[in-house]
Homo-oligomer: A and B are copies of this chain.
Amino acid sequence: MAAVFERIAIIGAGLIGASIALAARESGAAGSVSIFDADPDVRRRVREMDLGGVRDAAADAAREADLVVLAVPVGAMAAAMAAAAPGLKAGAIVTDVGSVKRAVIDAVRPSLPLDAFFIPGHPIAGTERSGPEAGFATLFQNRWHILTPLSDQGDAYAAAADRLAQFWRALGANVERMDAERHDVVLAVTSHLPHLIAFNIVAMAEDLESVTESEVVKYSASGFRDFTRIAASDPTMWRDVFLNNRDAVLEVLGRFSEDLAALQRAIRWGEGEALYALFDRARRMRREVIEAGQDTDAPNFGRDS
């Protein structure tokens, strides 16, 4: 494939940043890749992994890049943009991979050069692992990539957004566009709340006096183990998500708690029909997720076969 971008820079070499580097190289979507990470130890490891040209300053990595990808936790976006900005060439495209979009736009804009195009993005892809060693080239294959372009930006901006979409498609993703506020509400439901609940139940189980941690671990195959996977995700990333998508998360969490209270009441009063109706309804959603190609159809995710 002809490169979509001659040179790309990746700021932040975690699971996502490393996967972009690998996918861009394997697909040929980028002519060359330069990488910066704020952690010297990560830079050292990335040098050994040979993911691209590692630089010791964000501005050096960004220099001459046609596309700069900010792949740091949401709370570190402002600093990453400020550090990369001095190296940006005129007309460079800047994007990010943050799980929250409105807060990232607000964080990036103050230090964004006027002659650069900022097109926020979010790959709906990942695993519970962190760090560059967790990256792999096929992470974005057949996953959605959401772009939330800024409004009223003119033709050059629209062309830049199209080119960025082309880059993500070259990495195997399906590209969708929506506005930042809508993204933050949708992801609060599909991602932020599920993670919050998983973190909560796992931490709660650890704290129980009535049941030991080893009992929880031993019998976790009865349901609990699924939650431990999500709860193993990077704590810094998730702290930043909740601090930066507060309103949408609190809104959907309020709804969750309200429904859970109703369920609690149905159990207390032995309302079997209400419980059955709710459980039966929940079942249908699984079928839709599988039909949409968003999960495997194998029982137990295929892990026990």
Contacts and interface: CB of A to CB of B under 8 A. Distances in A.
A227 B230 CA distance: 10
Contact of A190 (B216, B279, B289): B216
Contacts of A198: 223, 282
Measured as residues with beta carbon below 8 angstroms from the partner, the interface class of chain A is 35 or more
B256 A204 contact: yes
Nearest to A210: B185
A79 to B, nearest CB: 15
Nearest to A261: B257
A213 B191 CA distance: 14
A109 interface: no
A216 B252 CA distance: 13
Contact of A279 (B185, B206, B218, B238): B238
A136 B179 CA distance: 47
Interface string A180-218: 000001110111111111111111111110110101111
Interface string A122-163: 001111110000100011000110100000000000000000
Interface stretch (A31-39, A86-94, A293-301): A293-301
A49 interface: no
B194 A201 contact: yes
Contact of A289 (B197, B228, B250): B228
Interface string A261-305: 101100110101001101111110111110010111011111111
Interface in A200-256: 200-208, 210-211, 213, 215-233, 235-236, 238-239, 242-243, 246, 249-253, 255-256
Contact of A200 (B202, B218, B259): B259
Contact of A220 (B215, B250, B295, B296): B295
Given A204-B259, A228-B295, A289-B228, A219 B190 contact: yes
9 contacts: A126-B222, A144-B218, A189-B208, A196-B260, A203-B259, A220-B292, A236-B276, A253-B267, A257-B260
Interface of A: 75, 99, 124-129, 134, 138-139, 143-144, 146, 176, 185-187, 189-208, 210-211, 213, 215-233, 235-236, 238-239, 242-243, 246, 249-253, 255-257, 259-261, 263-264, 267-268, 270, 272, 275-276, 278-283, 285-289, 292, 294-296, 298-305
